[in-house]
Structure 1
Amino acid sequence: MAHNLAQCQKLVKKAVDAGAKALFLPEASDYIASSATESVGLCQDVSKSLFVRGLQQAARDNSLLINVGIHEPTDPPSDRIKNTLIWIDKEGEIAHRYQKLHVFDIDLRPNGPRLKESDSVQPGNEIVPPYPTVLGKLGSLICFDLRFPEPALRLRRQGAEALLYPSAFTVPTGKLHWEILLRSRAIETQSWVIAAAQCGRHNEKRVSYGDSIVISPNGHIVGRLDHVEDLDKEKVDTREPDMLTVDIDSKAVDEVRRGIPLLRRTDVYPEI
């Protein structure tokens, strides 16, 4: 976790040097463990986490908004933990928190991985209303939530102008679905989509696909970073963290929504 904090601090410096208003970091930026037992054992309350406290200090020192995915203990404590996304404001305070709704349980054997996040992670039970920022109203979701349109549509109805999908996508599912699902969520909600993604090998069991992307409200990719297949395999484990800088224009949301008004027939399907 000390190494991961140092990597994030490098990105803070890059963000400040670029004049960014906010820094978006991936899901599980504090750690990705090799087992459920290890994941639970590493988890700390934010008040004790050197990783979180380090980022809070970085936010204060640089007057920078920081959005980051971490792990937190359940309350009351249990044999599972929470996968959360927190907003750290310019004063270094945690101003907003979202707990991942949909945990990542897949079995792609024999040609892919078997992962069961539910062994160690307690799913959330709330779609948290959008958080107002200098970039507009931002709706928080995490990784596997991407596969379900309902939370994104709810956040749109609650006023979201951008959706966040910090992730650590697997390589097989990243190849198949990452870009197309992100663009779909942007198009159907007419919102910006900001998807900060981990990239490369974490341990002997886990490799993340990467491909950090920002998508405009009309589904256009306005910026992206490499995915794991683009990288020199010898440099994947040693390379410096990379950052994408994008201008988020809230006027683009108004223009797209005015040009193509999506008037849903809620009298026909009120559950959406």
Structure 2
Amino acid sequence: MKFVQILFVACLLGFSNFSFGAKVDSLDIPSAAMGKTYKAAVVLPSSYANSKQPYPVLYLLHGGGGQFSDWLSKTPDKMLLHKLADQYNLIIVTPEGERLGGYLDSPIQKDNKFETYITQEVVEKIDKTYRTIRDRKGRVITGLSMGGHGALFLSGRHPELYCAAGSMSGALDLNVDTWKLDPETIKRISPGFERILGPKGATPDQYAAHSVVYMAEKLKTNDVRLIIDCGVDDFLIEPNRELHRRLVYNKTPHDYIERPGGHTWDYWENSLPYHVLFFHKVLKANGSVIP
């Protein structure tokens, strides 16, 4: 009889953990700027349902060849975001950026307005739909590869929205000639950037204006805490090192990390918890964490 009671309690505990863990919503977010509707995933910590407090939000951006669901489907640990949301009582939003939208407003493609989409339309939809801290003191952003560039680019241009930003393996210079890739690969991916910024030779100013590596002075003037990391075997290591050098030179506070690894989901799964811990410390200093 005692064994049956213990088994019953164990089943209840297991059911409780299964039922009340972090929850994932799929949200349609229309874009008036682009005349389209995109999806986003929203990870709500288990504490959200039983709380009346507003929650801090992490915007987590995907890479250039991906989509909004990547952070939930491609990490080796498919519960990574669930665990982080629960551990830090944090809402995590993974919005759509298309396969190579650059998280920027293209000067030549009117249907590519992802700066407007992420910073205005997505933030507004999330704040209206969920119980969030509707202030920069409770809002952070990071991402991988193109999403790392996007996070630093958007936070650099909109410091009123975010208190901290990060980049994992960021494509911090949109001129692919600075990447460690073979000529054939560069030739294959260049048209994607030319679609949104024009031919490199004809519009070099557009590439510079939209590349984070040239935003060091802008980043210095913003009160946005920064964390940047990249694997030493990553083909994007040189643009990351160049931005780091520029930030050191102009005395912009930031955390910069190089560790073994390449442009892989194993690397990003290892990297993300460091970013979230960094953000948690910033949010705590702002009085924006849920106990």
Q: TM-score range with shorter-chain normalisation? A: 0.3 to 0.5
Query: Quick check: which one's helix share is greater?
Result: 2
Of structures 1 and 2, the one with the larger relative CO (CA 8 A, separation 6+) is 2
Query: Quick check: which one's strand share is greater?
Result: 1
Relative to the length of structure 1, the TM-score reads 0.37
Relative to the length of structure 2, the TM-score reads 0.35
Structure with max Cα Rg = 2
